[in-house]
Amino acid sequence: MIYALTSGFLLGLMGSFHCMGMCGPIALALPVHKHNTLKKVWYILMYNFGRIFTYSVLGFLFGLLGKGLFIGKYQQYFSIAIGVLMLLALVVPTLFKKADNKYIAQFSAFVRKQLSNLFKKEKSGSVYLTIGIFNGLLPCGLVYFAIASAVGMGNLENTVGFMFMFGLATIPMMFAIAFLGNFISQKFRQTIQRLIPFFIAIMAVLMVLRGLNLGIPYLSPKIEHTEHGTEQSCCHPEE
């Protein structure tokens, strides 16, 4: 469980600069600056809580899917496969660009329409929470990687925990954008964007190592299989 929480937090922390480019415009558009500091902080937090809620629900849903499809040792193979696919997406991105994105585009249009309608409503804590919920549904490559990584964590608890910590780690950057405005220069953003592939590569290597079941504490914990087909990650090597 500790491995899943730590991995999710690190991916969210490293990927928060990517969120700055993807979700930053929405955070910047939040009409919070006309309120006093207390309300401003509360509304921004509600927005971020909405995003974390969505990520956690996605973790739960895909965790159920992973629990049904990958049992026993197959979970390890899945972790390795996800890591390899992440590396391939970085090295040969054209392999994935040819995929039909018609349904993704339609879903994105639906989510953006809902967000547009929400921005027209009289603002309250619940409205900002709902904006965050829909914001978390916007198609995002980093979120896809996070979900794939989470499913490889072994069980439903780890999957939800991974996605919760992933969302939690993005709060500092997203809060700063909404609270302070466009305070980061375009040049700095471009520099960070160029570093994102390296962060994803690190996460991919960690996924492969985890699947190899090397018995290295936290990095590649030993997986034990019970008679019921479940998995238990041991943070410490067997004595």
217-232 confidence digits (pLDDT tens) = 656 666 665 544 444 4
As a whole number, the mean pLDDT across the chain is 78
pTM above 0.85, yes or no: no
Packed helices 141-151 and 156-169: angle between N→C axes, nearest 10 degrees: 150
Work out the end-to-end distance of the chain between its first and last CA atoms, rounded to an integer number of angstroms: 20
Cα radius of gyration rounded to whole Å, the chain: 19
Alpha-carbon span 70 to 186, nearest angstrom? 43
- Per residue in 107-138, pLDDT tens? 889 999 999 999 988 788 899 999 999 999 98
**CB contact at 8 A, 208 and 79:** yes
Which of 30, 15, 8 shows the shortest CA–CA distance to 165?
8
Positive or negative: CA dihedral 166, 168, 172, 175? positive
**Residue 225 Rama label (left phi>0; alpha psi -120 to 50; beta):** beta
